[in-house]
Chain A
């Protein structure tokens, strides 16, 4: 099993009490999902305690959206069990505690921002005041604009407003910033951080490691329907403390020189070599022992991006 959770928060193990703190918000037990021939998720298990911000990270087709759909009760698992606050996620009382931003979902474009927020507020037992929602989503100036007239960034903010207007305990965000440019993305992170201050649980999927790093307490890396890693961003980065090494050589190298070394993402372009490794000293020593002359040697600390590449390659091989 690849879903080891070495640093799982203790809160997840605490008994369910009256207060939300320490309560288990989301639990997946041995959950699999199959669409026809495609195995979208394979025996996924995890627990998310209340108040945690979890980023599910992975390439396209890794199962992120399927995982969110199962947690929201939009899809049924082929096997295993999904629980939100200990109940079936299809339960209406559970839904009353969830807010959601889906990928590519429309709204009736003829309605104004204020009308739509008012409509969605009516679905929830304890909605936030409408002006507060407008302010949190940075939409006060667009309040009387028809949804169809909003720009891409404004529309995304509207979806955020619709997700938070019910004052949910859990917020699901499926690739919330996929269509945004970098400035809009950062503004959006700011809004999410404001919302987080109120002790909410957030599950977001993203392609962007930067986004996961900026927002999440915990990152789950998903690939081919399996959890490759599940840890805090700091631990994940340390766990695969990679260095990016690049250098030039006089005579072209063959990849088998690196065969027994801890080397990932090896790229050899004629005389230029680039690679990732947790042990740059060992790699260098090996190359010197082989009598290879290096020029323009560079060793830099690698980020989450590199950790991600290493993890997906390690587990795939």
Chain B
């Protein structure tokens, strides 16, 4: 009898696959992904790699410095704009409510978004590194390219929770502008746009406490810009990941109470 046929466990795979496919299609067609997450890092890369008159920035070529900085910037940008703001917008559209009324488990919906965000980061990094390597004047060994992409992709994981926090905490109407502004300030203070040594002492003192600085460290250290040890960056990122995750769980519960309670 049809009414008793239960969706078997194997269907979860098919459900997830379909959900990821739809997320990828949606992202690929949305200017909100292509522009901030793909175009902006490329533009910033060319801007910063040609900005410096001196031949060496942070001990490496301006191109290499720009690549490592902008790649970290791009990772967080994808998490904030393609992921966090998207979650907030769908909440604003009450799409999360419609989804909840379907048999698709809520965890599957979140998982598909997370996997899609990580995929987007890999695509962004490949595009950026490809352009930087082919026409951007960045010359690195194959190992270094691979380590750079792998480290930054792994480094993105703590920011998944940050994306969820933004998705659940920020008012859908103002999510864009608020996130943009905070991200701009965060990027400056983390030494992404201007090398930290050229910034005021107060910023240099704050930077080590910022998550984007710690992510950027992973990239910088890979290409030969020596800051604090990588292990220190990893610990900081784990700590941040934990804090973001706690906040994400709390806001998620609040949201459950308010919308589905």
Chain A residues within 8 Å of B, Cβ to Cβ: 18, 20, 72-76, 85, 92-93, 95-98, 100, 102, 104-108, 110-111, 115, 118-120, 122-126, 146, 162, 166, 169, 172
Contacts and interface: CB of A to CB of B under 8 A. Distances in A.
A105 B25 contact: no
B53 interface: no
Nearest to A93: B6
Top-5 shortest CB links A-B: A106-B93, A110-B29, A122-B18, A105-B98, A95-B103
Contacts of A100: 98, 101-102
Nearest to A112: B25
A115 B102 contact: no
B102 A105 contact: no
B26 A102 contact: no
A172 B7 CA distance: 21
23 contacts: A18-B1, A20-B3, A73-B101, A76-B260, A85-B3, A92-B105, A97-B3, A98-B101, A100-B101, A102-B101, A105-B97, A105-B98, A106-B90, A106-B94, A106-B95, A107-B95, A108-B26, A108-B90, A110-B26, A111-B25, A125-B6, A126-B2, A146-B29
Contacts of B29: 110-111, 146
Nearest to A95: B103
Given A76-B260, A106-B92, 12 more contacts: A74-B260, A92-B103, A96-B6, A97-B3, A104-B94, A106-B94, A108-B22, A115-B22, A120-B102, A125-B5, A126-B2, A126-B5
Contact of B103 (A75, A107, A108, A123): A123
Contacts of A125: 5-7, 11
A93 B14 CA distance: 17
A93 B102 contact: no
A121 to B, nearest CB: 9
A72 B18 contact: no
A314 to B, nearest CB: 34
B100 interface: yes
B44 interface: no
B15 interface: yes
Contacts of A75: 260-261
Given A104-B94, A105-B94, A106-B90, A124 B103 contact: yes
Interface of B: 1-3, 5-7, 11, 14-15, 18-19, 22, 25-26, 29-30, 90, 92-95, 97-98, 100-105, 260-261
Contacts of B97: 74, 102, 105
B15 A123 contact: yes
Nearest to A106: B93
A93 B2 CA distance: 11
Contacts of A92: 7, 103, 105
A100 B18 CA distance: 20
A102 B261 contact: no
Given A108-B26, A123-B15, A126-B2, A95 B94 contact: no
Given A74-B100, A85-B3, A122 B14 contact: yes
A110 B101 contact: no
Contacts of A20: 3
Contacts of B1: 18
B66 to A, nearest CB: 31
A124 B260 CA distance: 22
Contacts of A104: 94
Q: Which of A96, A107, A118, A122 has the most CB of B within 10 A?
A: A122
A125 B18 CA distance: 14
B102 A102 contact: no
A169 B3 contact: yes
B75 to A, nearest CB: 23
Contacts of B26: 108, 110-111
B102 A123 contact: yes
A73 B19 CA distance: 22
Nearest to A68: B101
A102 B18 contact: no
Contacts of A115: 22, 25
Given A76-B261, A100-B98, A105-B94, A93 B7 contact: yes
B102 to A, nearest CB: 5
Contacts of B103: 92-93, 95-96, 123-124, 166
A92 B5 CA distance: 12
B21 to A, nearest CB: 8
A74 B260 CA distance: 5
A73 B100 CA distance: 9
Given A18-B1, A110-B25, A122-B14, A105 B7 contact: no
Nearest to A18: B1
